[in-house]
Structure formats: structure tokens, C-alpha cells
Amino acid sequence: MAMTLPMVMLFFCFHTLPLFSGFFYSLTNSKGFGDFDFIGLKNYIHLFSNTKVINAYGFTFKFAIVTTILVNIISMILALALNAKIKFKSALRGLYFMPNILGGLIVGYIFNFIFTFVIPAIGKSITSGSLSTSILGNPSIAWIGIVICVAWQAIAFNTIIYISGLQTIPQDVYEASSIDGAGAWKTFWKITFPLVAPFFTINMILCMRNFLMVFDQIMSLTGGGPAGSTTSISMLIYKNGLTGNQFGFQSANSVIYFLVIVVISVFQMKVLNKREVQL
């Protein structure tokens, strides 16, 4: 049909073309304006010795891995609970999904207040030394605040995905399992989990991908600080690439960033797909 070709061309111009020109700029010393020279692979070599870049990768990975695991464990438990024969089912599901519809930036501002004022106030009242100051001000633990805030929102979405997975499991499988005398723990690991494995795969890939791209919540929680300890890769590209005269250098950074995301996603798909079973 005639509609497809224009769409493919537009997509090429506004998605693939920037991708190529990003690669092109990564080979230059462009500041984002004015003249520039080709400098070959110099940007790429400098990437690996730039502490800001290395720290951003370190933080982003630590954050993404911890948050992915945390979110998936809690989401799975919540999904099992919300899929059980409970009272007020649709109201509870509605409530647990709510954080997902709220904007990450504004949720970040609200959590910023909680970490800065509320938690320290609680800490003081129970005279706990470690809780009496804001965790967002401490370079070594500020990232935990971001984990909590992002997880609070992401759990909502992943829980719904797991619930839709649980609903695809036919009832007679459970009946057979209970006739065979399997307990709840065994039923989960031998029956439920293998059958929702495709949804586990989706969630793991989506989580990892989204968390590696984290931006909004960091903007409102820490702005990348303290001392740059929570600067994610996206944030570094935005800050230094757009306003810090490092257009060419950050383009090289984003090429590596892109490759990293592709490799991780493909790896996850390969490993996790193997575990899936078909009913």
C-alpha cells in the first residue's frame, strides 16, 4: 500500500539519519556549533580514560541491575497476590497501577522532599544516626534513593504484565498439580514460573532497557549529584553534549551506549528464551 513507503522514508530521515550523523560526529571534534575537524577514533580512545564517562557507566549499570532485580521480585509477588481470589480485586489492581501513570519528573520531586525532610525527621525521632541526614546528599548512597523512586513507579507496570501472564495459565494445570500433591512453593517453581517465563523475559528486557536510559527521576532527585555520583549515561550525554561543548565526544559516548544496549538486550533474549516452555 502507498502508506508504507512515505512512513519508511520519514522514519529513515528522523530516526536512522540522526543515528548515522551521530556516528559521523563521533569521529569529529565538533562542539555542536562552528567548524570541526575529523579526528578519527580519538574520541573513542579518550572515552575509556575519561573518569566522568567511566563513573556514569558504573552508576548506570549498578542502578539498572539492582533495580531490575528488585522490581521483578516485588512485581512477581504482587502479581501473584493480586491474581489470587481476593476481595476488592479491581480497586486494588487500579491502586497498585497508579504510580505508573504519574510523570517520573514530578514523582522525583515528591521523593526528593521525602528523602530530604521526611526520612531524616523520622531518623531523628528514633535517634538513628544513619537516617538523620538526607541520603541524597551522600555520594556513596544517593543512588539508593534513585533505586527506590524508580522502582516505586516501575513495579506498577511490571506487576500488570505479570498479571496478564498469570491469566494465560489454564486452570486445569493447577488442578493437576494439586492432585499430584504439590505444595505452593513447588507449584510456583515447577508450574507457574515456567509458564509465565515469556512475560519474565519481556519484563527483564524492558526493565534493563528502561533503567539503562534513566533520566527524569535523576533530574528531579539529584540532578546527577552529589559529586556526579548519580550521573547516568543519558544525563551525561545531555549535559555535556548539548551544553558542555563536547558534541563530538558525547556522540562517541552515545555510539558505545547504543552498542551496549543492543548487546545486553540480545544476550538477555538468547539466555531467557532458552528457559521458556510452551504449553
Partner 1 sequence: MINVKKGEVKTDKRNWPITIMLMLTSILILIPIYMAVMIAFKQPSEMSNDIAGAFKFPSKFSFSNFIEAIQVTDFFHTAGNSLVITIFSVIAVVLISSMVSFAIARNMERKKIYKFFYLYFVSAMFVPFSMLMLPLVKQMAFLHLDNKIGIIFLYVIFNTPINTLLYVGYLKNVPVSLEEAAYVDGANTWTLFWKIIFPMMKPMHATVAVLTALAAWNDVLLPLVLLSGGDGKDITLPLAQMMFQSQFGTNYNLAFASYILALLPMLIFYLVAQKQVINGVMNGAVKG
Among 45, 54, 69, 102, binds partner 1 (CB under 8 A): 102
What character string, x for contact with partner 1 (CB under 8 A) and - otherwise, covers 11-30?
x--xxxxxx-xx--x-----
Residues 171-210 that bind partner 1 (CB under 8 A): 171, 174, 199, 202, 209
Decide: is 109 part of the binding site for partner 1 (CB under 8 A).
yes
Among 73, 81, 176, 271, binds partner 1 (CB under 8 A): 81
Among 44, 61, 70, 99, binds partner 1 (CB under 8 A): 99
- Indicate the residue among 106 and 140 with the shorter CB distance to partner 1: 106
Give me the least distance between CB of 203 and partner 1, in Å please.
Answer: 9
Residues 125-164 that bind partner 1 (CB under 8 A): 125, 152, 157, 160-161, 163-164
Give me the least distance between CB of 32 and partner 1, in Å please.
Answer: 7
Contact present, 232 and 211 (Cβ < 8 Å): no
Query: Within 13 Å of residue 131, how many CA atoms lie on the same side as its CB?
Result: 12
- Indicate the residue among 140 and 189 with the shorter CB distance to partner 1: 189
Among 265, 268, 272, 276, binds partner 1 (CB under 8 A): 265
Decide: is 230 part of the binding site for partner 1 (CB under 8 A).
no
Among 38, 113, 189, 267, binds partner 1 (CB under 8 A): 113
Contact present, 207 and 265 (Cβ < 8 Å): no
CA distance 262 to 1: 31
- Residue 155 corresponds to which amino acid? I
Instruction: Name residue, grid cell 574520541.
Output: 43
Count Cβ atoms within 10 A of the Cβ of residue 163 and give its class: 0-12 exposed, 13-18 middle, 19 or more buried.
buried
- Indicate the residue among 142 and 255 with the shorter CB distance to partner 1: 255
Instruction: Report residue 265 CA to chain centroid gap.
Output: 12
DSSP 86-144: -TTHHHHHHHHHGGGGS-HHHHHHHHHHIIIIIHHHHHHHTT-TTTSS-GGG-TTTHHH
Instruction: Name residue, grid cell 552515545.
Output: 254
Give me the least distance between CB of 169 and partner 1, in Å please.
Answer: 5
